[in-house]
Structure 1
Amino acid sequence: MAAPPGRAAAPGLSAPLRLVPTLRSPPPSARPAARAAAPGIIGGVGRSEGERGVNEQGGTEALLAQAVQDVVAAQPKRLDRALDGGASLLAASAERWPAVSRAVLGHAEQAVGRAWTVGWRPADLVRVVRRSLGPVHLALAVDLIAAEGRRHGAATLDRRWQEQLRELAVEVWWGPDEAYLGEFAARHRLDRFALATAVLELFRAWAVLPPITPVGPAPGATPARPVGPVEGEPRMLSRIRALLAKAESTEYPEEAEALTAKAQQLMAQHSIDEALLAVGRPTAATPAALRIGVDNPYESPKTMLLDAVAGANRCRVVWAKEFGFCTIVGFDGDLDGVELLYTSLLVQATSAMHRAGSRQHLDGASRTKAFRQSFLVAYAARIRERLAAATEEATRATEDSRLLPALAAREAAVDRTITRMFPKLTAQRVRVSDGEGWTAGRAAADRADLHGRKGAIRR
């Protein structure tokens, strides 16, 4: 990719982003069929109250399953009709509403559980909802994940899964299951029809999700690595997090520069220490993976920034554009640092971009979008240079003949894992068209210079 006129392309700027092939939703015929209503499932004359209650609940479950099936199978032009019809049936009777509530939570166990088995994780399901639906659906999604989670003990979940649940504030806050929809409706000031419509829209969004490459064990599966943090890791991460929080909050570029530099140096040194420790271990560690959301606007340069951070920390990135996330592959300690540093640099870049203001052409037409796209691309390119230099400096400072072979072995392991997880990748290049944005972006990245003073790391 060529740089703007009068500017040389930054090293690594034209490196292509690695993409997963576009993942398409399966056709309706390939999706699991919802359970059809059984004849005579609603209670009849002469049956006990208990029998009628069981059969009425079964009828409600079948009604919900049919409504979900109709909505999932509906073509776009007929979707509104399917939603209205299904929601009307579910919301028609106040007496049946508690049974509908139990049926919704029961169906959630199936829908969410199915998503876990085909590679999705809690943050992924919530991200899908946030990108395509509204706040009510988002609150529903978190609750239905909580309802499904009652089947799993904490010991059956890996560390990052537990972290996602904490970050999403997943909890069962309602009373008995038959009261859930009523309590939810009261919280969000919804009538039965509006809430039933939101439920069907949410189940539809999840039902059409295709299988994706797993990045860790599903609940109940044997974790491939310890479910708790690696020994010594929490202290390292807390130090990095504290440094980056200060870098984000300060109004002084020089202070942000020094703090971010310390964070990257700490990450690089930790990676080196881990590589050397692994040399003497009888069983070699294996690469892991995690997903990080990358949303519009300017998702391409944001992905470039993530790739820059990952590359400097010996990780690799694959972008699934359709679903708004990147998969990062690397060793556990490196992955944690990448996530923290990327989040911080994105905050700093976005703040600098907004401080730079908007731009117009001579005729008054806005060129803000092109300016900001070029700004973030240049920022990512310059950060790539700075991070790579900081990592190289930390590597040179370590006088141990085992280090370079150990690092090479870890990089080869990451490459093999990428090839196994994503055998078919395509590449994409990012264009820049605004020279002023390019210049401003590089200047902002220079103000986030990562060449910290020597001795910043204390062991």
Structure 2
Amino acid sequence: MSSSGPRPGTVERAFEAALYADTDAALDTGASLLAADPAADTELTRRGEEFVAAAWRRGWQPADVVRVVRRELDPVHVQLTAALILGESHEPRGARWTAQLEELRAEPRPPRADRFSYATAVLELYRLLLRLPAIEPLDVPLPGPAAAGAGDSRMLTRIRALLAKAEATGFPEEAEALSAKAQELMARHSIDEALLAARTHAKDAPGACRIGVEPPYETAKAVLLDAVAGANRCRAVWNEAFCFSTVVGFEPDLEAVELLYTSLLVQATAAMTKAEAAQRAGGRKRTKTFRQSFLAAYAHRIGDRLASVAEGQVTAAEGDLLPVLAARDVAVADHTDRMFPRTVTTRLRGVDDAAGWHEGAAAADRAQVQDRRRLP
């Protein structure tokens, strides 16, 4: 007399039916099993948290997972993802991780409609989480001598306030002056941190963060981010498939890149919208090519401006600062090469609208950052 093993539970049978096949019929079968068994809900949530934890082991962070879900699925899936991440994350994993969790707390709770629709959304999400590949893990940077200090927080608050005003003003000259002052503070903050680490022999090391580079016109946006990273002694590597760039650098510089890139992108988008409206008023209708050329020109011109600013900063440096900066540049390059031993160069394509290019370059000139004055 033969005996079979225990029958798999509802969640396991639903997973076997739905997660490893791409058809709607398989999804319906799994969702029907779950909808018919309310007692399986707790196990279903627990398994989802396991999928999230597996994503962390494959190098993902909360913002990365949400970014992919937002692009591939619907708002309800984003809400389900946020709930799973917040339910799973118990151990502190650094300041950036904590900040990402805080952003997720603002997401509304997922709606509980009929059980079949809910189960379908959950299985769609789990399919995606199950298939996330391994990506480069981000090392949490070692704390520097002034990490998370009160002075650091006040400085970043001032920089954010200046950039927020630059984004909000309708006067290009005022935006330029505000951005220039923000850059000055960024430079001072970065140099102070570098010198303090060198003088105290602190175990300061490069880290990395990921910054979303979302479509449309993502290539031009990636070029803009690369320019901002280079000007702030960082390196950026774009992952087109997952819509982010990994920026490698020392923590104060990573903060500067995040703040400045976000601000310049806001300023570029506002300027592009205004320029596009003027073009439409003149009878033009090639909106997509105009926008692509505009952002490409903006990124190119800002890159030139920021490179000039960075060169001026190095030229102004003297004494103990030059070898300190050189050592940090080498450390960032080595860390990038270890994380990304093989990279390829991407070229901008489809940039063929002369009016868009001219307007984008002009907007970049208005948003230009003045040369940083010599710092004490």
Flag the 1:287–1:239 CA change in 2: closer, same or farther, 3 A: same
1:72 aligned residue:
19
Q: Deviations over 1:378-427 (max 9, x none)?
A: 101111122223333344444x3111111111111111011100111111
Flag the 1:117–1:252 CA change in 2: closer, same or farther, 3 A: same
Distance (whole Å) between structure 1 residues aligned to residue 43 and residue 284 of structure 2? 54
Alignment of 1:315-394 (within 5 A): 315-357=234-276, 366-394=285-313
* Aligned residues with identical type, % of pairs: 53
Q: Deviations over 1:174-216 (max 9, x none)?
A: 8xxxxxxxxx444xxx211111000000001110001111113
Distance (whole Å) between structure 2 residues aligned to residue 70 and residue 122 of structure 1? 28
**TM-score in terms of structure 2 length:** 0.91
Contact 2:86 2:104 in 1 (8 A): no
| TM superposition shift of 1:366 | 4.2
Q: Secondary structure at the match of 1:206?
A: helix
Q: Deviations over 1:217-248 (max 9, x none)?
A: 5xxxxx7447x943332122111100000011
Runs of 4+ in 1 over 6 A off after TM superposition: none
Alignment of 1:55-204 (within 5 A): 62-74=9-21, 76=22, 79-92=23-36, 96-97=37-38, 99-149=39-89, 152-153=90-91, 156-169=92-105, 184-186=110-112, 190-204=113-127
| TM superposition shift of 1:289 | 0.1
Q: CA RMSD in A?
A: 2.5
2:335 aligned residue:
417
Q: Deviations over 1:232-288 (max 9, x none)?
A: 321221111000000111111111110011111211222222222222232441110
Which structure is higher in RCO with an 8 Å CA cutoff and minimum separation 6? 1
Please, which of 165, 178, 181 is the counterpart of residue 259 of structure 1? 178
Q: Deviations over 1:429-455 (max 9, x none)?
A: 113211111111010011112117859
**TM-score in terms of structure 1 length:** 0.75
Aligned residues: 368
Q: Secondary structure at the match of 1:289?
A: strand
Contact 1:262 1:452 in 2 (8 A): no
Distance (whole Å) between structure 1 residues aligned to residue 194 and residue 147 of structure 2? 17
Q: Secondary structure at the match of 2:233?
A: coil
Flag the 1:229–1:39 CA change in 2: closer, same or farther, 3 A: farther
Flag the 1:224–1:404 CA change in 2: closer, same or farther, 3 A: closer
Contact 2:195 2:321 in 1 (8 A): yes
Please, which of 128, 133, 141 is the counterpart of residue 210 of structure 1? 133
Please, which of 195, 208, 216 is the counterpart of residue 276 of structure 1? 195
Alignment of 1:302-321 (within 5 A): 302-321=221-240
Q: Secondary structure at the match of 1:296?
A: coil
Contact 1:374 1:434 in 2 (8 A): yes
| TM superposition shift of 1:109 | 2.2
Q: Secondary structure at the match of 2:157?
A: helix
